[in-house]
Structures are given as C-alpha cells and as structure tokens.
Amino acid sequence: MASSSSEPPKGATIEGVKNGKPIQIPAAYDFRSDTVTTPTPSMLQSIMSIHTHGDDVFSEDTTTNNLESFIVELTGKPASCFVMSGTMGNQVSIRSHLAQPPHSIVLDSRSHINNYEAGGAAVLSQAHVIPVTPTNGNYLTLEEIEASVVDSDDIHYAPTRLICLENSLKGAIMPVEEIQKISKFAREKGIKLHLDGARLWNVVAAGGGDLKEIVSYFDSVSLCFSKGLGAPMGSIIIGEKDFMKRVRHFRKMVGGATRQIGIATGPARTAVEEIFLGGKLARTHELAKRLEASWAKLGGTLRVPCDTNMVWLDLGSVGGDETDIPKLAKNAGLKWDWERIVVHHQISDDAIERLEGVFEKLVENAKVRGGVPSNKKGPSGYARRDAKRDEND
C-alpha cells in the first residue's frame, strides 16, 4: 500500500539544496499534465549564462538563432522559427499554408487543433474544418483521409488545402508507415501536410520512428519545448525556407515576434539536450507501463494504448467512479483529477507508489457500490464537460 499524505515524502525528485536542506520539486506528485514541470537548475543556469541580448524581431538574438540552427540540424528541415506556444505554432503554420478561402482542413476530430485552440483556424485562416474520427480509435488512416478530403471544384464545397495530423495524440503513436502513405497521397493531390508534434519527442524516445524521417513527410511541424521536455515556455516551427518567411510574417501579426527572447530560447535548447537527448523521457514511459500493469492486475483496462507517457484509465472496466479520483488523490498527497494520468520527468517514485494505492481504493470503492459506477463526471482541466473528454493543454 502506498504512503499516506501525512508521512514525509520518500524518493521524491530533488532539484537542489538550499540552506542545507533538499528542495523538493513541486511537480513530483502531480499527474495532471507534463506541463506542470518546473525548470531544472541547468535550464535556469542557461538564462544566467546568456552574454548577449539581441532583438529577435531583427533576427539578432544569438541565443535564439543558435537554438533555431540547432533544431534545423537535429531535424533535418531547412529552417525553423521559435514561437511562444504550441497553439501559436499550429495556428501560424495553418495560416502560412492557406491563402484565399474557400478552403478546408482535414484533421482528427480528437486533435488539439480541432478542440483546444479556441477556434483559431476559423478566425485566423477562415478555414472550414473537416474532423474525422478514426475507426481504430487511435489514429487516422489513409483511407479515412481520402474519403474526407474535398478534391473538387464544385462550388458547394470548400476544397481541402491542408491535412493536419497529431503525433502523439492522447499518448498513442501514429505508425510511420501510415504517415508515409498519407504524405504520398497529400503530395500527389497538392495538399499541404502539417504535424502537431508537440509530443513528438516522446514518440521518438519510445521507438515510434526516427525524428528526421518522421518530419521529412510533412511540409511543416510544430514541436513543443514545455510539454514533456519541461522548458518554461515555447515551441518551434520547422519547414522550408520560403514557408518560414511567411511564418515570421504571421508570427509578427499575432504578436509573437519578441525582443530579448533568449531568456526563453536558452532553457528551450537545454531542455532538448537534457531531457530528450539525455534520455530522460524513457523513464516516463517505463513508469507509465508500470501503472498500466498495476491497473491491469486490479482488472482494469485502458481507453487508449499506453505507447508513451500517458495512461488513460477506463474506470468503467472496474465499475469505478470518476468522482472518487480527486478526493482519493488528495488524501494520498497527489494532484490528479480525472481518468488521464500523465507521467513527466519530475515525477517521484514515491508518487507512483501512492498512485498505485489510489488505484486499489478506486476498485475497493467500486466493489462496495456493487461495481456500478455513478453517472457523475468529476472535475477536469477543461470547461467543456462531455462523455469523451480529451486531453487539455
């Protein structure tokens, strides 16, 4: 059984020592997202180590230019551009690909672009969105995209000019073979292909493909530095040089061109080097698999395959009640409030043990109720409440 919240933390992740006492990382017991991490000492040191503070609007910030060159070398794409967030990365990319409406975008109905970017595609790009729900429950196939693309000059329709994929989506990996087929189809049809690769780092770390190969199939990719990698902020767009000129134009238009942004791009590069290239994502995947196994031992199943750092519990498989989660988690000294569990690089071993104890209590409570779950839905990170909530952030 896991430790109670009244006991001192065991095996917690420590970020340093102050006044002779260890400093516990705040996110060590937080399973709500991989965006809850705090900057590591090396990330903070990268800010203090900046020697020049140039103006990025004029492309004169050395730290930012070095980051963008580093990402170009790492991914094999010709050009890159730092942006303030993943939403900005996706929306600026979409706007840069699309010209004069009418036009449409085909994407996964569960994707961030479709659900959690405040309708940006409609407002910024005047685009009609065609959401497609994958029949396999995990990723879109070429056949589904072919059936959804508008390849016609019929005046009743908005022709498809862009396809947007997401990898990983809800932590599940999209097979490289499927990406390759979709890319071939898109290029034959003259349709641009964008990837929301916010957590692509996790995909690569989990063996879901080579980074350079995956991005080669796309006209543009947005990569996030805060999700998974733990940087304070920021994402980066990669693509062709001419495309990047348009990106910088629209980035300026939406207020994303900044001055001395090295205080963000310095930690971003450190995050890639320390967390991704340093191999720290592997532990998050191993711990997620451990939680999957612990849940399975109690008779539980998952809603989504545990390919990377996310564990999506199917509470109905044990007759569990989602409204139990916040209270049980709080009693165990954890932050976790609904079916999705996200393991990040600062989660402590003690937190994993405590969460396994919460699993046991969820099942115990279900048995007391006779295995009949409540129809109530517990709180989550969203305002939208429905039966098939997807991931926030």
If one compares 6 and 59, the residue with the highest pLDDT of the two is: 59
Provide mean pLDDT across the span 5-17. Answer: 45
If one compares 25 and 98, the residue with the highest pLDDT of the two is: 98
pLDDT in tens, 14-53: 555 455 555 678 899 999 999 999 999 999 999 999 988 9
Number of domains in the chain: 2
Boundary (domain end) residue, out of 238, 256, 276: 276
pLDDT in tens, 303-326: 999 999 999 999 999 999 999 999
CB atoms inside a 10 Å sphere around CB 98: 19
Q: Are residues 252 and 295 in the same domain?
A: no
CATH of the domain at 25: 3.90.1150.10
pLDDT surpassing 80 at residue 158: yes
Question: For the chain, what percent of residues have pLDDT higher than 70?
Answer: 88
pLDDT surpassing 70 at residue 278: yes
Contacts of 153 (CB under 8 A, 6+ apart): 159
Q: Are residues 103 and 206 in the same domain?
A: yes
Rounded (10°) angle between helices 62-75 and 262-271: 30
Boundary (domain end) residue, out of 257, 276, 295: 276
Rounded (10°) angle between helices 349-368 and 281-297: 20
- Angle (nearest 5°) at CA 161 between 159 and 166: 125
Which pLDDT value is given to residue 25? 87
Nearest to 113 by CA among 88, 80, 77: 88
Q: Are residues 268 and 284 in the same domain?
A: no
Over the range 336-362, which residues count as b (16 or more CB within 10 Å of their CB) and which as e? bbbbbbbbbbbbbebbbbbbbbbbebb
pLDDT in tens, 342-353: 999 999 999 999
Provide mean pLDDT across the span 269-288. Answer: 98
In a domain, 379, yes or no: no
**How far is the C-alpha of 188 from the C-alpha of 169, rounded, in Å?**
26
Residue spans of beta strands (DSSP E) within the chain = 14-18, 21-24, 79-83, 104-108, 128-132, 160-166, 192-197, 220-224, 235-239, 301-304, 310-314, 340-342
The length of the chain in residues reads 393
The answer for 209, left when phi > 0, alpha when psi is -120 to 50, beta otherwise, is left
Question: For the chain, what percent of residues have pLDDT higher than 90?
Answer: 87
Burial class (CB in 10 A: 0-12, 13-18, 19+), 283: middle
Q: Are residues 160 and 256 in the same domain?
A: yes
Q: Are residues 91 and 206 in the same domain?
A: yes
Nearest to 68 by CA among 250, 207, 201, 223: 223
Q: Are residues 129 and 268 in the same domain?
A: yes
In a domain, 386, yes or no: no
In a domain, 373, yes or no: no
pLDDT surpassing 80 at residue 76: yes
Burial class (CB in 10 A: 0-12, 13-18, 19+), 329: buried
Mean of pLDDT over the chain: 91
Provide mean pLDDT across the span 266-288. Answer: 98
| Residue 381, SS3 per DSSP | coil
Boundary (domain end) residue, out of 250, 276, 302: 276
Q: Are residues 264 and 285 in the same domain?
A: no
pTM for this entry: 0.90
CB atoms inside a 10 Å sphere around CB 75: 21
Provide mean pLDDT across the span 204-220. Answer: 98
Least confident of 87-91, 106-110, 260-264, 389-393: 389-393
Q: Which domain holds residue 32?
A: 14-36+280-368
**How far is the C-alpha of 49 from the C-alpha of 57, rounded, in Å?**
22
Q: Are residues 47 and 89 in the same domain?
A: yes
Nearest to 272 by CA among 113, 72, 4, 127: 72
Residue type, 238: I
Q: Are residues 264 and 301 in the same domain?
A: no
Which pLDDT value is given to residue 46? 96
pLDDT band, very low/low/confident/very high, at 8 (cuts 50, 70, 90):
very low
- Angle (nearest 5°) at CA 132 between 239 and 107: 15
Which pLDDT value is given to residue 52? 87
pLDDT surpassing 80 at residue 252: yes
Chain center to CA of 354: 25
If one compares 393 and 206, the residue with the highest pLDDT of the two is: 206
The answer for 259, left when phi > 0, alpha when psi is -120 to 50, beta otherwise, is alpha
